[in-house]
């Protein structure tokens, strides 16, 4: 797809990109990386996973590739790379 600057981290596995994305005639700004699944709000480990993702990619550029779909929440589901590594590789404890 392309490179995008991360503007906001929502949780450990969801973030927003500046200027949004467009795919299959749909637009949005929220991305859900593939390959890992972190705890949801009010679950143990949520804060730690969110902080880890924020420290890693907030205000930095990520490469979005291999778009799978747009989920029921309007998030672009795709492989996400940071510094040439799949984002899921930074979260081995949550890999799926």
Is residue 1's pLDDT more than 90? no
Count the domains in the chain: 1
- Specify the CATH number for the domain of residue 87: 2.40.50.90
> How far apart (Å, rounded) are the C-alpha atoms in residues 5 and 84?
15
29-50 pLDDT tens trace: 999 999 999 999 999 999 999 9
For the question of whether the overall pTM of this predicted structure is more than 0.75, the answer is: yes
Domain that holds residue 77: 2-94
pLDDT at 11: 98
45-84 pLDDT tens trace: 999 999 999 999 999 999 999 999 999 999 999 999 999 9
What is the rounded (10 degree) CA torsion for 51, 52, 55, 60?
-120
């Amino acid at each position: 797809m392309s490179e995008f600057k991360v503007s906001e981290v929502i949780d450990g596995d969801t973030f927003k990109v500046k200027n949004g994305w467009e795919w299959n005639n749909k637009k949005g700004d929220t991305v859900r990386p593939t390959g890992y699944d972190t705890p949801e709000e009010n679950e143990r480990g949520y804060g730690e996973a969110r902080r880890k993702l924020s420290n890693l990619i907030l205000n930095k550029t990520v490469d979005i590739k291999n778009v799978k779909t747009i989920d029921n929440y309007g998030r672009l589901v795709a492989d996400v790379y940071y510094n040439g590594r799949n984002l899921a590789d930074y979260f081995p404890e949550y890999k799926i």
